[in-house]
Amino acid sequence: MAFLHPWVCVFVGCFSVSLAGTDNLTTLYPPLWEESPGQFSDYKVENGKYIIDPWIYLERIGAYKILTNKTSMFFERFEGGSEENILWGLALQHGWQYSSGRLVDPTQKSNCGYESNHLCISVDSWWADLNYFLCALPFFAAVDSGIMGISSDQVLFLPPPVEQTKFCFSVSSCKSSYPELMRKWNLFYQYMKSPFSSFDDLLKYYWEAHTSTLDATYRTFEDRIEYYSKPEGDFERNWLLLVKYLTEMRFPTTLNRTHEFQEGLPPRMLVSGDQPPFISNFTNLQNTVLFALDVLYKVDSATGSFSLTLWKIFMEIPGARVLALEIFEEVFKIFNQKWL
């Protein structure tokens, strides 16, 4: 196509995903997955409500674990079974944020998230705050839709120590504060429960809810970016743009694909002096991914987001999304053979 500029090839090459299976799925799970709560009864109960503290890593990842467990049956009809549950992407992303140190207090005014208190999730973390809504809203919408097996008033998230007004903590408060976002997550679950919905349909509604959630909440936490080094702040900015491209492609956030995708993400916080593609303790893939993201952002800015518009047009062509994923896989294999 005439509008497939060279930057698309860079983008495609860097975010290729291997479809290779694995005999031991537990190696793909987020950190401390086995140790985290897996059912509501694993949490404490007060006044007839299950109390989840989303500012402790084990309790937030436990909420994702319950969500994936309760929804896995709806993906059994697809080839690959429960591993095809596209909600795995949310859990694995939170796991990467934890393992890469992105949930710690970036102000360093507390020990939250650091070695002596490594399970603590800081309310001052940009990553943690945006992820909160990609946990709370899909979780509470699942409760509201009847999937979780409890009533809407039976579960509560605890607030952070400060700035409580920026968050919602229950089905009712999230529906009150974010009615349109809750509606979109509920719509996703409605289609998920339908035996007639296709996998592509589910991806469409999932990504619409996912992207809408980020669009509606990221400005609330823009002040957090000043706590980070310039390379990390640039990466956060670039990450939000990447999500828009993945949305249009309807990237399948299954267990295997998300795990392979995250192999290209930075394994630690970026610090002053980090300059991709020349970060010495990053893999070639991680360096190239970061470099490509920066190129993508610069192209998008220079074209007034016209490049994203072209990408959207291309993704609407029948078969284009399937072709893009196939190219991702093939170029990734070539990349591995050449560099790894």
Q: Where are the beta strands (DSSP E) in the chain?
A: 44-46, 49-52, 155-157
What is the tally of structural domains in the chain?
Answer: 1
CB neighbour class for 104 (10 Å; exposed up to 12, middle 13-18, buried from 19): buried
Rounded to two decimals, the pTM is 0.91
Structure token digits, residue 59: 């309790």
- Which residues form the domain of 190? 31-227
- Residue 62 near residue 43, CB atoms below 8 Å: yes
Q: Please give the angle made by the CA atoms of 100, 106 and 108, to the nearest 5 degrees.
A: 115
Residue 128 lies in a domain: yes
Task: Please determine, for residue 71, whether its predicted confidence score (pLDDT) is greater than 50.
Answer: yes
- What is the per-residue pLDDT across 219-276, written as a single tens digit (0 to 9) for each? 999 999 999 999 999 999 999 999 999 999 999 999 999 998 898 899 999 999 999 9
Residue 286 lies in a domain: no
CB neighbour class for 317 (10 Å; exposed up to 12, middle 13-18, buried from 19): exposed
- What is the per-residue pLDDT across 19-57, written as a single tens digit (0 to 9) for each? 444 447 788 999 999 999 999 999 999 999 999 999 999
The pLDDT, as a whole number, for residue 7 is 43
How many whole angstroms separate alpha carbon 250 and alpha carbon 258? 13
Residue 181 lies in a domain: yes
- Concatenated DSSP letters of 152-177: TTSEEEPPPSS-GGG---SHHHHHHH
Residue 85 lies in a domain: yes
Q: What is the mean pLDDT of the chain?
A: 90
Higher pLDDT, 80 or 12: 80
Residue 195 lies in a domain: yes
- What is the per-residue pLDDT across 106-153, written as a single tens digit (0 to 9) for each? 999 999 999 999 999 999 999 999 999 999 999 999 999 999 999 999
Residue 22 lies in a domain: no
Residue 164 lies in a domain: yes
Residue 87 lies in a domain: yes
